[in-house]
Amino acid sequence: MMDTSHTPVRLHVEDTGGSGRPIVLIHGWPLSGAAWEKQVPDLVEAGFRVITYDRRGFGQSEKPDSGYDYDTLAADLAHLLEEKDLSDVTLVGFSMGGGEVARYVANHGEDRLHSIVFAAAVPPFMMKSDDNPNGPLDSETAEKMERGLRDSREVFFDGFTKNFFSAGDTLQVSEDERKKAIALCRQSDQTAALGCMEAFGTTDFREDLKKVTVPTLILHGDSDGIVPLEGAGQRTHEAIAGSRLVVLPGAPHGCNTSHADAFNGALLGFLAD
C-alpha cells in the first residue's frame, strides 16, 4: 500500500473534468504534461475525463532536490489519484511514464484501475547486463547521455529532440513541433533531469510487470531509436498475459506527436473495449 512516509509535492495538474471515465496521462522525459496536446482533445471528444500532470521537477511542478526514484514518483501518482478520489482509471504512461505505471501497480495495487497503457515505454528494463542481455541501453551510452546533459543542456536537448522525433535520419515532425518540445525540455530542473535519467535507465520493472492483471495496451513505433520496440514494448507484451500490442509503422519515439492519428486511433479503440 501507499508509503505513509511519502511527502507530497505540488504538482501542476490539468483536469478537463466531467463525468467520463478518467484517463491519466503521464509524460515522458524531460517534457511535461503539455506533450499530450494532440491526445487530450480527441479523448475529451470521446467522452473521457482527461488528467495530465507535470512530474515533480518538470514543467510547472515543484522542483525538489530529491525524490526522482520510481518508488517516489509512483507515490506522487498515487497521491494524485487519492486526492481526486479517482476510480476506474486508465493510466497511460509514455516512455519514462511507463515506469510509473508499472511501479504504481506493484506498490499501490490495481483497485483504482480499469486498464493501463504503455506507450513507447521503458519497461521491462533498459540497462543491458549479464542478467538482462536484451536491455536496449548500454552503460557507455548512458554515461554519454549524462555527460552531454551536464556539459550543455542546449546542445543536448537539440540533439535529443532530433532523435526523439526521427525515424532513421528523417525527422517525422515539423521544426516548429520540435522547437516546442525543446521549450518543454528547458523547463526541467537539472537535478530532476539527471535523477530521472538515472532512474529510467537503471530501474528493473520485470517483477512489477508480473503483478499486472488489468487490461493492458502496449503502443510502440517500429522506428523508435531511443526505446526500441524489440528491447522494450515487445518484451513488455510478452511479460503481461493477454496484453495487446499495437505497432505503429514508421513511427519514432515521439509517436504520440509524429503519428498522432494512428496513436489516438489505437488508444481510443482500446479504451472502447
Determine which one of 61, 95, 223, 258 is catalytic: 95
Active site residue 253: yes
**Tally of residues, the chain:** 273
> What separation, in Å, do the N-terminal and C-terminal C-alpha atoms of the chain show?
29
Determine which one of 27, 237, 253, 259 is catalytic: 253
The HSE-up count of residue 108 (CA atoms within 13 Å, CB side) is: 24
Determine which one of 166, 224, 258, 259 is catalytic: 224
Active site residue 95: yes
Q: Which residues of 114-146 are buried (b: 16+ CB within 10 A; e: fewer)?
A: bbbbbbbbbbbbbbbeeebeebbbeeeebeebb
Separation of alpha carbons 169 and 102, rounded Å: 31
> Residue 229 burial by CB count (10 A; 0-12/13-18/19+): exposed, middle or buried?
buried
Residues designated catalytic: 95, 224, 253
